[in-house]
Amino acid sequence: MKNKILIVGGQGYIGQVLLPFFADKKYLVTSLDNLIYNQKKKKLDKKLKSNLVDLDFRKRNLIFNLIKNNDIIIFLAGLVGDPITKKYPVLSKKINRFGIINFIKILKKFNEKHFIFISTCSNYGIIKKNLKANENHKLFPLSRYANDKVQIEKYIQKNLFKTKNFSTILRFATAFGYSERMRYDLTVNEFVKTLFFKKKLEVYDQDTFRPYCHVKDFANIILKVIKSKKSKVNNQIFNCGDNRHNYSKLSIAKKISKYFKNPKIEYRDLPSQDRRNYQVNFNKLNKILNYKCKFNLDFGIKEIIYYLKKNKDHKNKKLGNYKVNILK
């Protein structure tokens, strides 16, 4: 019998890719999510085994049994992204720092569970030109979102890495691609949507770099981590992405523009408020887990265009992490 997986944040953008992915591979999957972004709860095909639990992961007395009854905990939940955490600073701190720390305190009692914490490459912040950050590179978080991720990483290293607990930290590159819970507030997805509906695309900080990764590759990477020997992944941090997919905003805009006739793109000299500029080294992922990303930028662009053709009503829909239910 395969392991039971608890996906904390299973109704989110990445969670909605992981849930059917693991259920299809015959894992018994539980999605824990309180639908903070007002998204509709997505159910799987009846043939796929899964449980959907509508619950705030900060409810300590109710979380205990969920952790106890699962073997692998994949933690995605929280206020995800720089804009949303800036918009709700108090709530962000309650959820993204104190809430997650309290969750880990409960988890620590079960040292046989495999805890996979999803962090971000945004932790690197700014890196000198032509230098790619590996997992040992100094962290320089510029936003509230990244800073909380760094604090949680430190907490895990201190309280799980140095104990008998089984844990892995994955620093995700910037995501793109189709999900049942679509987001258009992510660079690639946003650029494609804007040009698809023949709107003018304004690009700021065109020469700034970031790594990008398709959501399907994230699912494959997590599966690799789960199926790897404990000695390879326990107490380890992995950058998750591909060395070939470090792109500037300029290069992304140019690549996407090839799929449209007469695309309207304006490059703004005025700097945005987002100072992030970093490239990342993914050699550890290649060597230790023997994984290279299978889905490139062109695949994602075509996929989103196909999806938009079937959902033209998305023109005026703001799908993404723009606002939340105000919780205590």
Question: In the predicted model, what is the mean pLDDT of residues 65-85?
Answer: 95
The mean pLDDT of 173-197, rounded to a whole number, is 97
Residues 270-281: pLDDT tens digits?
777 788 999 999
* Average pLDDT estimate for 244-261: 97
Q: How confident is the model at residue 53 (pLDDT cuts 50, 70, 90)?
A: confident
**Quick one: what percent of the chain has pLDDT higher than 90?**
85
Give pLDDT, residue 270: 77
Q: Residue length, the chain?
A: 328
Q: Over range 283-297, report the average pLDDT.
A: 98
Quote the distance between the C-alpha of residue 144 and its chain's center.
16
Say what the pLDDT of residue 44 is: 65
pLDDT in tens, 139-179: 999 999 999 999 999 999 999 998 999 999 999 999 999 99
Q: Say whether 177-211+245-279+297-316 and 4-175+214-240 share the same fold.
A: no
Mean pLDDT of 219-242: 98
The pTM of the full predicted model, rounded to 2 decimals, is 0.96
Per-residue confidence band for 60, with pLDDT thresholds at 50, 70 and 90: confident
* DSSP 8-state secondary structure symbol assigned to residue 69: T
Confidence grade of residue 43 (pLDDT, cut at 50, 70, 90): low
Percentage of the chain modeled with pLDDT above 70: 96
* pLDDT at residue 45 tops 70: no
Listed by start position, the domains of the chain span 4-175+214-240, 177-211+245-279+297-316
The amino acid occupying position 327 is L
In a 10 Å sphere around its CB, with 0-12 CB exposed, 13-18 middle and 19+ buried, how is residue 268 labelled?
exposed
* Residues contacting 271, CB < 8 A, separation 6+: 204, 205
- Residue 86: exposed, middle, or buried by beta-carbon count in 10 A (0-12, 13-18, 19+)? middle
From CA 55, how far away is CA 72, in angstroms rounded? Answer: 18
Neighbouring CB atoms inside 10 A of 217's CB total: 26
Backbone angles phi, psi at 295, to 5 degrees: -115, 115
The more confident residue out of 46 and 209 is 209
> Is residue 129 very low, low, confident or very high in pLDDT (cuts 50, 70, 90)?
confident
Confidence of residue 325 (pLDDT cuts 50, 70, 90): confident
**CATH architecture, range 4-175+214-240:** 3-Layer(aba) Sandwich (3.40)
Task: Give the alpha-carbon dihedral of 239, 319, 145, 237, to 10 degrees.
Answer: -20
pLDDT of 326 above 90: no
Q: Residues 119, 73: contact at Cβ < 8 Å?
A: no
Measured distance CA(78)–CA(246) in Å, rounded: 26
Question: Which residue is it, tokens 């933690």?
Answer: 75
Per CATH, the number for 177-211+245-279+297-316 is 3.90.25.10
Q: Are the C-beta atoms of residues 111 and 165 closer than 8 Å to each other?
A: yes
What residue ranges in the chain does DSSP mark as E strands? 4-8, 28-33, 50-54, 72-75, 114-120, 132-133, 166-172, 174-176, 201-204, 209-214, 236-240, 246-248, 265-268, 279-280
pLDDT-based confidence at residue 226 (cuts at 50, 70, 90): very high
> What tokens were used for 276?
């992030």
How far apart are alpha carbons 156 and 158 in whole angstroms?
A: 5
